[in-house]
Amino acid sequence: MKNPLLIIHRRKWFVRWPAKVLAGVTAVTAVLFPYPDRLATHVERWQQPNILIEPDHPKITELVAEIEPALEADLQPPQILRKVERFVYKKVPYAWDWDTWGTVDYIPTVSEVFEQAREDCDGRAVIAASMLRKLGYEAELVTNFTHVWVKTNKGETMSPGKTKVIVATDQGLKVDANNLFANISKAAGYGVAVFPLGRELILALVLWWLSLRPGGGMFASFVALVLLINALLFIRIGSADHKAPDQLIQLAGLANFVLAMLLLWVVARFGRKSPERSMLNDAESH
């Protein structure tokens, strides 16, 4: 009896590879963004994120009225920014987007933040920027891909990062191309570190399955799967601190990944000479 999981690997290359790409994209989208409408909304909003800043929203008016008595007339802008930061942190408890929205990332409106009563850094930044504009500051959203904070004409707040990769302005997004790749890499590592392990294991299994080739030995193929899981775990551990990732542990993860892919290629390349040992022929013989 043929194993249905291996059907795709028996097809001609011009059928096999498009099918693999489609299966991979579908799996990644389903795991990271199981709600396509939220993905579309997220992408659209990040084209001009400052439109989410609503200083005249009724809830923002309430918050500003609540904090104003604590903003003494002699306070300097840095002190006011710190007070607003601590106030927003207290009013909006932190929660990952996959717990709140079921997706890996989502930037909300002011109303959505208050509906959920919790948010991560981007939702908190939207609230802080709205409050600061209400208080007369020129506030804009800023990100380095691992964090979103607020830039004003009097300084930055909401735990600002060292590098501003994208600054949202009323004229559009300003991108720091020099730091773009380095920050995307760091953000990807940190994303792996904090994303639910169960979802990542699903992606590791899909990648392993898509990497199988006719002629690959069953034992070697499962060794490659173990190496892939090791790679995932090493990268999670090495990237847990996005400010100071452990590059040695990250390299160990990368080495495990390369070894897994190399092993799958080797057993496929040379395993065809021993078809009785191949994973596909084993499955087809039953």
For residue range 66-93, what is the model confidence (pLDDT) as tens digits? 999 999 889 999 999 999 999 999 999 9
Q: Answer for the pair 279, 217: CB distance below 8 angstroms, yes or no.
A: yes
DSSP string, 78-123: HHHHHHHHHHHHHHS-B--HHHHTSSS--PPPHHHHHHHT-B-HHH
> How many whole angstroms from its chain centre is CA 139?
25
SS3 143: strand
**Tens digits of per-residue pLDDT, 110-146?**
999 999 999 999 999 999 999 999 999 999 999 999 9
> What CA–CA distances, in Å, run from 139 to 11, 27, 149, 173?
56, 38, 10, 14
Q: How confident is the model at residue 171 (pLDDT cuts 50, 70, 90)?
A: confident
> Tokens at residue 125, please?
């930044």
pLDDT for res 274: 47
Q: Answer for the pair 92, 123: CB distance below 8 angstroms, yes or no.
A: yes
Q: Answer for the pair 71, 80: CB distance below 8 angstroms, yes or no.
A: yes
pTM for the whole thing?
A: 0.88
Is pLDDT of 273 > 60? no
Residue 195 or residue 12, greater confidence:
195
Q: Answer for the pair 147, 161: CB distance below 8 angstroms, yes or no.
A: yes
Which of 149, 151, 80, 140 lies closest to 120 in space, CA to CA?
Answer: 149
Could you tell me whether strands 172-175 and 166-169 are parallel, antiparallel, or unpaired per DSSP bridges? antiparallel
- At which residue do the structure tokens 């997706």 appear? 103
Q: How confident is the model at residue 8 (pLDDT cuts 50, 70, 90)?
A: confident
Using CB atoms within 10 Å of the CB of residue 36, give its burial: 0 to 12 exposed, 13 to 18 middle, 19+ buried. Answer: exposed
> What CA–CA distances, in Å, run from 61 to 22, 23, 107, 113, 188?
48, 48, 21, 15, 37
What strand order describes the sheet that includes 166-169?
155-157, 148-152, 139-143, 166-169, 172-175
What is the number of other CB atoms lying within 10 angstroms of the CB of residue 49?
21
pLDDT for res 278: 46
Which residues does residue 168 pair with via DSSP β-bridges, in sequence order? Answer: 173
